[in-house]
Each structure stands twice: as C-alpha cells, then as structure tokens.
Structure 1
Amino acid sequence: MRIRTRLAAALATTVAATAAAVPATADAQQWVGLGDSFAAGPLIPTQLPPYGCLKSSQNFARQAAASLGRTISDVSCSGAKTTHMTAQQNVDPGPNPPQFNALNGGVGTVTLQIGGNDIGFSEILQECVTYNPFDSPCDEDYRPSGRDVISERITATAPLVAQVLQGIRARAPAARIVVVNYAAILPETGSGCWPQVPLAFSDVPYLRAKQKQLNAMLATQASLAGARLADAYTASIGKDACKGSGTRWVEPLVPGTSAAPFHPNLRGMTGIAPVVAAQAR
C-alpha cells in the first residue's frame, strides 16, 4: 500500500510539473494594447475613461484589432512610462491601473509603444521651441560640453524596455508581441518648417536623429525579445507635422484638428493601424 501511495504521489507530482511547464494556450481573439500617448491618441474623438489618460476610441490598436475581428483590452495612457506597466498611473481623473493587469495566459496579441516619456521627448520638444529660427536651444540644453543628453537617456531606457518585454512574456507567454515605433514628427530631410513647427533650423536635424535613435533602440529590444516591429515611422515619412492639414499624420505645435501637439491625429492612427495589423496576423 505504501509503495502504491508513493507511486501515486510521484505520478501526481510529475503531472503537475509537466502541466506547469506547458505554456498557456492563447486565444487569438484576445488583444491587449499597452503604451503611452502616441498609442492612446490624446484629444482624438471619442475619448474614453479613465479620461485622464486622454485615450481615443480610434487609436491604432483599437482600429487594428477591429480590422482583424479581435477583442481588445486597451489600457494605454498618455504620459505612461515603462514604470506604469507595473505601477498605477495617477492621472486626473483616474487613476489608470498598472497596464500589466490586463495581461494573462490567454492573451493572443500584445501591442506596445513605450519609451518616449522615459527619455522626456515631449519635454524636449517644448524646451527646443524657439521664436528665433537661427537660435539653437537644443544644442545648448542637450549637448553641453560635448555630451549628448538625449542619447544618454535613450541608452538608459533600453534596459527598461527590455524589462517590459520580459514582463509581457512572463504574463502572456503565448502572445504575439508587436512593438510599435514612433511616427515621424519632422521631415525626413531638411531643416524643418519654422514657424509651423517652431524649431531652430540647426536643431531639426539633431531632433530627427534622436527620434531615429529612439526607434532604433526599440527595434533592437524587440528583436532581442523575439517580438515583432510595426514600423510606423517608415509608413509616416512624408506625412510629418510640417505637411498640410490634409496630408500630415502628426500635428504641429498648434493642431489643426482634434489631436495633441506633436502627436498623431486620426489620419495618423488610421494609417498606422494596418501596419500594426500586418504584424499581428
């Protein structure tokens, strides 16, 4: 009897261990959208609760999921940093719970756009706005004494993005992860379009290079984590904030439609959605 009991116990332990080792089966219909304001869609109608997140019902993740007939839990929130994947974001009105709360073993697709707020990109653009196109405030503020402060921030953010991707994989082990980079704010070439985008002529190439560096970091981290990259930047070339209101995907400092300054408008969200959907199939 003791032998049989021991064999039964050993068998039960083996079965339990085997079950624990088998990853959860994902439901292809379940989609979770994570991210910051570029993912959320501030001021684009219709805005959804929690209203402090400035989240649109027509952001790219929602449009992409709908195009594939999937159900989305969109927990993106304007102002989110990598820390807000696991910590509550105290927006007003809010709060927004930790975004990772939406993840579970049954999730089939996860979209992620994060990192811009960790490097302070909105603050950088605001600090670099100038009434003198021949000035160089970015050079003075972000490249003092030969340093490149923004590059340092991007380097410091890389391991934080890596941790986020690891956290997604741990919570949704069978999900397809799609990292979305940032749509072009500035023209691909040239010195910008002051005063529509009031940045100094000499600062525009620098800021363009920093956005490309941020996107390159996201691509690297996605690759290392076995995630896919949705290249919103390439899709948006020629549709930057310097273009006319009928062309641009990103609004200038003074928006011409319901969208936040230096953020995607509805046309941009609609243009990015199929890029994301193609990676989520």
Structure 2
Amino acid sequence: MRRSRIAVMLSSLALAAVSVLTGASTASAATGPYVALGDSYASGVGAGSYTSESGSCKRSTNAAPYLWAASHAPSSFSFMACSGAVTSDVLNNQLGPVNASTSLVSIAIGGNDAGFADVMTTCVTSSDSGCLSRINTARSFVQSTLPGRLDNVYNAIRGRAPSARVVVLGYPRFYKLGASCLGLSETKRAAINDAADYMNDTIGNVARNHGFTFGDVRGTFTGHELCSGSAWLHSVNWTNIGESYHPTASGQSGGYLPVLTNAA
C-alpha cells in the first residue's frame, strides 16, 4: 500500500514537471479553436477600430474577444459577434464555425432581446414614471421569455461543440449612484442599474444550468460607471448614437478582458 502511494505521488510530480516544462495546461482552452459570439457588447461597438470586413456588425480590434485571441494565440479565431444581434441571430447567422473541435466559445447576448436600446431611449426622453414603466416591461420579458431563448442558444452551442468551454459574459451596471451628475435623475439611474442586475442574474442562472461559466463584469466596471468621473461607458453620443451606453476601448480591455481571461 505504501509503495502504491509513493508511486502515485511520483507519477503526479512527473506529470506536473512535464506540464511546467512544456507549458501544457489541462484547464486552458487557449490552444484550440475559439469562437466569439453575441451582440454589440461582444463585437466591441463603442471601442472603435472596427474591421473593414465586419461592416455593420462593427467588430472591433479593441473588443475583449479580439484582444484575448491576440494574446493567447488559439489555433483559430472566428469573430462572429454582431452589433444589434438577438438570440435568433446567433442561431441563424453565427454558429457556423462552432463544431466538435471548438475549444472555447464566448458569448454576450440577451440585451437586445429585452429591448435595451428602447429602454435607454425611453429613459432619456421621458419622465421618471415613463422610464420605470418601460423598465418593468423589460423585466417581465426577462423573467418570462428570455430564459427560453437563452436555452435555445446554449443548447445549440453545446450540441455543436460538446467539449468546448463556454463563457457567457454579462453586462455592466451603467451608473454610479449618489454622485452629482447631469442627465438622468437618480430614480432613473437606480432603476436602470437594478434592471441590469436582474438581467445578469437571469443570464447567469441559465448559463450555470447549462454547465457554462458566467463572466460577471459588474465588479470590474465598479468605479468606472457613468457619473463616476472615470467612465468606461459612453453616455449619449449624438454624433454616433449607436455607441451610446456601450463600453469604450478601456471598458473592453479593463472591464471585459480580465473577466474573459479568468473564465477561459
């Protein structure tokens, strides 16, 4: 019995030594094909430096998936995320590169299904009561309908890539509360943050039910919300309205990339 234990210990040490010498890691998905799926938060809208081939999808070389691929050198990188995407767009247009050899998949999706752009437009242009009413409608959708849509996407990913590590990325809170800030009222800002929390909690629960890793970016964005004085998010951008309420390049590199790196 004693000899057996010693043999096991020596074998483990030898494997560890080989791993250190070769740089191998059974926990890392970095060596195989990587596919990045999702919406504008995944494609990098607001971060600038969009690739010419991506057109209206606005895939940025400053987006966290692109930065991760550049630093980890997976065997291939398919950047499929697209501005404006909803869950059906992922199912219909983005899953082509996902297959049995895929090692890592990242995805941020759900905000457009819940009407994120319309929520923010309503809150900017209407009263507190109008804003809260629109947010409540979105919350009802997130509770009743979004989980089923996410299930469809997550099932499709797992069916196509049974061995892949899947990282589901969430959304930041948008506002620092209690700060002097022009624009939306404190009531609106608090309600928007609460809605972001509800969205993240819902997405995270569904992701974990599928055995996926949820990448919560609320922590990395803390101190960098709108009204913080060091925002990693665009406020209303009248010159390029589509970038409003999206992460800047710093938000992608400082807010999303560390979370993706840790989860991958």
Category of TM-score, reference length = shorter chain: 0.7 to 0.9
Q: Shift of the alpha carbon at 1:66? A: 2.2
Q: Shift of the alpha carbon at 1:112? A: 0.7
Corresponding residue for 1:93? Answer: none
Q: What is the aligned counterpart of 1:267 among 229, 241, 250?
A: 250
Give the 5 Å matches for 1:1-281. 28-48=31-51, 49-70=53-74, 71-87=76-92, 98-130=93-125, 135-139=128-132, 141-142=133-134, 148-155=136-143, 156-187=145-176, 189-190=177-178, 194-195=181-182, 198-244=183-229, 247-254=230-237, 260-271=243-254, 272-280=256-264
Identity of aligned residues (%): 27
Q: Shift of the alpha carbon at 1:28? A: 3.4
Are the equivalent residues in 2 in contact too, given 1:183–1:250 (CA < 8 A)?
A: no
Write the distance in 1 (CA, Å) between the matches of 2:39 and 2:180: 26
Q: Shift of the alpha carbon at 1:27? A: 8.4
Larger helix percent:
2
Q: State which drifts further: 57-66 or 218-227.
A: 57-66
Structure 1 stretches of at least 4 aligned residues deviating more than 6 Å after TM superposition: 255-259
Q: Shift of the alpha carbon at 1:243? A: 2.7
Q: Shift of the alpha carbon at 1:248? A: 1.7
Q: Is the alpha carbon distance of 1:101 and 1:167 closer, same or farther for their aligned partners in structure 2, counting shifts above 3 Å?
A: same
Write the distance in 2 (CA, Å) between the matches of 1:152 and 1:125: 16
Are the equivalent residues in 2 in contact too, given 1:130–1:200 (CA < 8 A)?
A: no
User: What whole-Å deviation, never above 9, does each CA across 1:38-77 have from its counterpart, x for those lacking one?
Assistant: 1111253321223111111120111122222223211000
**Count of aligned residue pairs for this structure pair:** 232
Question: Partner letter of residue 123 of structure 1?
Answer: D
Structure with higher Rg: it is 1
Unaligned 5+ runs, structure 2: 1-28
Corresponding residue for 2:8? Answer: none
Q: Is the alpha carbon distance of 1:27 and 1:61 closer, same or farther for their aligned partners in structure 2, counting shifts above 3 Å?
A: closer
Instruction: Specify the SS of the correspondent of 1:33.
Output: strand
User: What whole-Å deviation, never above 9, does each CA across 1:154-201 have from its counterpart, x for those lacking one?
Assistant: 1211111111111100001110000000122112x33x6543xx3233
Are the equivalent residues in 1 in contact too, given 2:215–2:263 (CA < 8 A)?
A: yes
Instruction: Specify the SS of the correspondent of 2:84.
Output: coil
Question: Partner letter of residue 35 of structure 2?
Answer: V
Q: Shift of the alpha carbon at 1:151? A: 1.5
- TM-score w.r.t. the length of structure 1 is 0.76
Q: Is the alpha carbon distance of 1:136 and 1:27 closer, same or farther for their aligned partners in structure 2, counting shifts above 3 Å?
A: closer
Are the equivalent residues in 2 in contact too, given 1:119–1:157 (CA < 8 A)?
A: yes
Unaligned 5+ runs, structure 1: 1-25, 88-97
RMSD: 2.3
Write the distance in 1 (CA, Å) between the matches of 2:261 and 2:154: 19
Instruction: Specify the SS of the correspondent of 1:125.
Output: helix
Are the equivalent residues in 2 in contact too, given 1:257–1:265 (CA < 8 A)?
A: no
